[in-house]
Amino acid sequence: MNQNDDFAARVVLHSADLPWIDSPMKGVKRRMLDRVGGEVARATTMVSYAPGSHFSAHEHTGGEEFIVLEGVFQDEHGDFPVGSYIRNPPQSSHTPGSEPGCVIFVKLWQFDLDDRTAVRTDMAKTGLVADAARDGVSVGTLFADDREQVRIEQWAAGSQVTIDTSGGAEVLVMDGEFAESSDKLTQHSWMRVPAGGTFNATAGAQGCKVWVKTGHLRFAEEERLRLPA
């Protein structure tokens, strides 16, 4: 199953407009954002766990990165409420589920396969620092290496915001809204900008908080090729 798999293309999706699709596990549904592959896939997805639903134990050969958007995500490593940012590196394993129910934004098979760095962070407690190069923007780093940068950004109302897209970028709206080109993105809207593309946004009247990932799309085709046959 391939969806939005041309990584040279700009993509804007409003998750609330997408249908929920049943996964192989009862009570777990998905909204596909981009995907290459079948059940083992390089994928970016919204996943909904109904109360009491669980996935069976499994290993993340290609790594897993996710944000809790609603409810509480649970596994043997703990209970993760709204605002949790998690990186489960390649070769890690867990048994995910949610007794109260939850919605997460999750990315699979988008790691350096030698990465062994686990991250479990409450984004609400991530300190934001004013970005000297961008007026009205405050930034908190969630993860950074030679491959990518992942951060939370707060944009002041009406601020004009650029993002370095030389290695590609993804933006997920956590709160508020912004306009970019002819698109208006609101809570849980998602944008993918290809490497070498442009990103020039205007924050809404109430400002905007976004999750941003940059640099990683340079490796998208490599990730496609290394998926198990």
Q: Is 14 buried (19+), middle (13-18) or exposed (0-12) by CB count in 10 A?
A: middle
pLDDT of residue 116: 95
pLDDT of residue 58: 85
pLDDT of residue 40: 87
Spatial distance between the Cα atoms of 178 and 173, rounded to a whole number of angstroms: 8
pLDDT of residue 229: 73
Helix, strand, coil share of the chain (percent; to 5): 5, 55, 40
pLDDT of residue 38: 86
Eight-state DSSP code of residue 20: P
Ranges in the chain, pLDDT < 70: none
User: Is the CB of residue 149 less than 8 Å from the CB of residue 164?
Assistant: no
Spatial distance between the Cα atoms of 119 and 59, rounded to a whole number of angstroms: 16
**What are the structural domains of the chain?**
18-122 (2.60.120.10), 125-218 (2.60.120.10)
Eight-state DSSP code of residue 39: S
For residue 101, the number of C-alpha atoms closer than 13 Å in the C-beta half-sphere is: 6
pLDDT of residue 4: 97
Cα–Cα distance list, 202 to 56, 87, 162, 188, 192 (Å)? 43, 30, 9, 17, 17
User: Is the CB of residue 118 less than 8 Å from the CB of residue 187?
Assistant: no
Element of type H or E holding 222 = helix 220-225
